A and B are shown apart, each in its own frame.
Chain A
Amino acid sequence: MKKTLTEKILSAHAEKDVKSGEVVFVDIDWALVQDGTGPLTVDVIEEMGKGVDRPDHRCVFLDHASPSSRYELSDSHNKLRRYAREKEMKIFDVGEGICHQLMAEKFVEPGEVVVGADSHTCTAGAFGSFASGFGSTDIAFAMSTGRLWLRIPEAINVKLRGNLKFPAMAKDLILFLIGRLGSYGATYKALEFTGEGVENLSMESRLTVCNMVIEAGAKNGIMPADDKTSDYIKRERGKDIKFKPLRADNDAGYERVLEINLDEISPQVAEPHCVDNVLNANETVKKDIKVDQVVIGTCTGGRMEDLRAAARILEGKKVKKGVRFIVSPASANVYLAAMREGLLEKFVKSGGVIVTPGCGPCVGIQGGVLGTGEVCVSTANRNFKGRMGCSDSFIYLASPATAAASAVTGKITEPGDLL
């Protein structure tokens, strides 16, 4: 039977040949929670009464309220710290970074199954692994039993060729794709990226793309592992990994094929209040939209290539007076690397503010909550009404290059105009 990459990985974890449509239990390698979903997971684990299986593969991340802005959240953090210590789970405290970035830096390997109580767990599909987001109760079950039931997804083949041409970035590619698929165009399905274009994407770009497949409703996004994958693991972890190069079979049963030429991708913007409300940036620019705040960071825009792109656009320029320019590196490691490279100094000198690695601004908890009627250009993954803490505000999603350009002019701007 010809298999998609997702079917191959899930077959290996279900210990039988599975195909799309089947419902099976699969063994999981990694399970994660964060401070928003973890407390409920802990309660359910305790109520199920089965303890924690393989605690060294169960990860707790304190990244959403990082650092805590309210006593209630500090109490939740302490609950998670105590539980992780008691059960000998892995825990990453405030400031260490966003869960998906840390899973990439530290743990995920090709062919693994990663589940997490965070919808963007799909980020880890960039390693050629199956990764998907669930709620607290499912993850409690997974953490307790080491298994989870899944419906094997049908798959869409997204065939990439060519190369992204700066200032077009990975964010533009995934926004373009979501615009084509629609916000529920891939619901329940796997998005499998194939073709030479995947090989041309950096690991950081692959993480950004896989992160946002959920915004088209997908269960997982996946890219075959290659030399770039093992080089990344070597660089981040000092570890040589051997992996069986897994790819989908030729003639695997894809539901449909979408072809994208990366050479033709131009800067994109997702306008409020839905991620599939995507336009070519030049269309948005025509609307002359004044910007109050720009955020560069998150699990889908706060890695080194993102910060470098922003710095390149900002070179020799200042942030427009009156615009708040907030930079949040995706992890402490990214923070340090950006510091060593002089990027943070550039941001501060141009009028920016550096905030703690974490999810704060993106989820409207702290570090950049919007005010009534305000407009933000963000490199994050969601622009839903109220997402950044104020129901009456407007979020435009764009690449770090577009976001930086908009910070300089004070209105939504194409990055190419500033190069």
Chain B
Amino acid sequence: MIDELRGRAHKFGDNISTDLICPGKYFHLRSNIKKLAQHTLEDADPDFISKMNPGDFVVAGENFGCGSSREHAPVIIKESGVSAVLAKSFARIFFRNAVNIGLPVMECDTESISGGDELEVRPREGTVSNLSSGARITARALPETMYNILEAGGLRDYVRKNKL
């Protein structure tokens, strides 16, 4: 399922906090993921949800997902149809949360990717091909355990499958 992903890049900067991804003013919508997902990344780019197509990528700079531990941040990114997040670096809790809920995250040099570029991403191999520019980027490999959790669809399903 996550062998090969294709879509367009939506570019963001450094320090995209979980407040920008999942604003606190929608705290009351956390029990309604579909509604909450309509506000994904709203405070970073108010037009993101109207511009993106299912399968697209969120591409960012350093420290993506910093701040609060709210798992709703990766949950709504996934719910909105984003197929993976690519960033130069991730905040620790966001990175774990993304893997735990089955959202592919790849740490790689995103400098050369521009908004609108068409990408082909292979999480297992850790490669990103920029079909618009022809560039190829190698991502930092995910530790085996984390990849297995991701492939199971998240920690909940991994626990069920492996009878942990």
Chain A interface (Cβ within 8 Å of chain B)?
A: 23, 36-37, 39-40, 44, 47-50, 64-65, 69-70, 72-73, 75-76, 116-119, 121, 133-138, 140-141, 145, 149, 183-184, 187-188, 214, 217, 219, 274, 363-365, 369, 382, 384-391
Query: 1/0 per position for B57-97, CB-CB distance to A under 8 A?
Result: 00000110011111110110000000000000101110011
Give every chain A residue within 8 A of B164 (Cβ-Cβ): 145
Give every chain A residue within 8 A of B71 (Cβ-Cβ): 37, 40, 117, 135-137
* Contact A134–B69 (Cβ < 8 Å): yes
Give every chain B residue within 8 A of A365 (Cβ-Cβ): 24, 27
CA gap between A136 and B17 in the complex, in Å: 17
Give every chain B residue within 8 A of A149 (Cβ-Cβ): 145
A37-B71, A187-B92, A391-B43 given; name 13 further pairs at CB < 8 Å: A23-B145, A50-B159, A121-B69, A135-B93, A135-B96, A136-B97, A138-B155, A188-B92, A217-B63, A219-B92, A363-B27, A386-B19, A391-B42
Q: List 14 A-B contacts (CB under 8 A).
A: A72-B32, A76-B30, A117-B71, A119-B69, A135-B93, A135-B96, A135-B97, A138-B100, A138-B155, A184-B62, A187-B89, A214-B93, A363-B68, A385-B20
* Contact B69–A135 (Cβ < 8 Å): yes
CA gap between A19 and B101 in the complex, in Å: 28
A354 to chain B, nearest CB (A): 22
Among A72, A118, A391, point to the contact of B69 (Cβ < 8 A).
A118
CA gap between A64 and B20 in the complex, in Å: 18
* Contact B19–A384 (Cβ < 8 Å): yes
Give every chain A residue within 8 A of B29 (Cβ-Cβ): 72
* Contact A65–B145 (Cβ < 8 Å): no
Closest B residue to A389 by beta carbon equals B25
* Contact B27–A36 (Cβ < 8 Å): yes
CA gap between A390 and B70 in the complex, in Å: 18
Among A37, A39, A217, point to the contact of B31 (Cβ < 8 A).
A39
Give every chain A residue within 8 A of B28 (Cβ-Cβ): 65, 69-70, 72-73
CA gap between A294 and B71 in the complex, in Å: 29
Which among B30, B69, B75, B164 has the greatest number of chain A C-beta atoms within 10 A?
B69
Closest B residue to A70 by beta carbon equals B28
B24 to chain A, nearest CB (A): 4
Among A36, A133, A183, A363, point to the contact of B63 (Cβ < 8 A).
A183
Among B27, B62, B145, B160, point to the contact of A64 (Cβ < 8 A).
B27
Q: Is the interface of A mostly helix, strand, loop or mixed?
A: loop
* Contact A76–B31 (Cβ < 8 Å): yes
Give every chain B residue within 8 A of A23 (Cβ-Cβ): 143, 145
Closest B residue to A33 by beta carbon equals B69
Q: Tell me whether B124 is interfacial, beta carbon within 8 Å.
A: no
Closest A residue to B159 by beta carbon equals A48
A42 to chain B, nearest CB (A): 11
Q: Tell me whether B126 is interfacial, beta carbon within 8 Å.
A: no
Give every chain A residue within 8 A of B75 (Cβ-Cβ): 40
| Known A137-B101, A217-B92: A384·B155 in contact at CB below 8 Å | no
Give every chain A residue within 8 A of B23 (Cβ-Cβ): 364, 386, 391
* Contact A137–B63 (Cβ < 8 Å): no
A117 to chain B, nearest CB (A): 6
Give every chain A residue within 8 A of B20 (Cβ-Cβ): 384-386
* Contact A184–B19 (Cβ < 8 Å): no
A153 to chain B, nearest CB (A): 9
Closest A residue to B92 by beta carbon equals A188
Give every chain B residue within 8 A of A137 (Cβ-Cβ): 71, 97, 100-101, 154-156
Closest B residue to A68 by beta carbon equals B28
Q: Tell me whether B15 is interfacial, beta carbon within 8 Å.
A: yes
A139 to chain B, nearest CB (A): 9
* Contact A382–B67 (Cβ < 8 Å): yes
Closest B residue to A76 by beta carbon equals B31
| Known A382-B67, A387-B19: A364·B91 in contact at CB below 8 Å | no
* Contact A44–B156 (Cβ < 8 Å): yes
* Contact B25–A36 (Cβ < 8 Å): no
CA gap between A140 and B43 in the complex, in Å: 29
* Contact B143–A385 (Cβ < 8 Å): no
| Known A119-B68, A119-B69: A387·B100 in contact at CB below 8 Å | no
Closest A residue to B144 by beta carbon equals A23
Closest B residue to A365 by beta carbon equals B27
B63 to chain A, nearest CB (A): 4
CA gap between A145 and B163 in the complex, in Å: 12
A394 to chain B, nearest CB (A): 14
Closest A residue to B91 by beta carbon equals A217
* Contact A37–B156 (Cβ < 8 Å): no
Closest CB pairs A-B (n = 8): A135-B97, A135-B71, A184-B63, A72-B28, A137-B100, A119-B69, A364-B24, A384-B19
Among B25, B92, B156, point to the contact of A386 (Cβ < 8 A).
B25
B 107-123 contacts with A by CB, 8 A: none
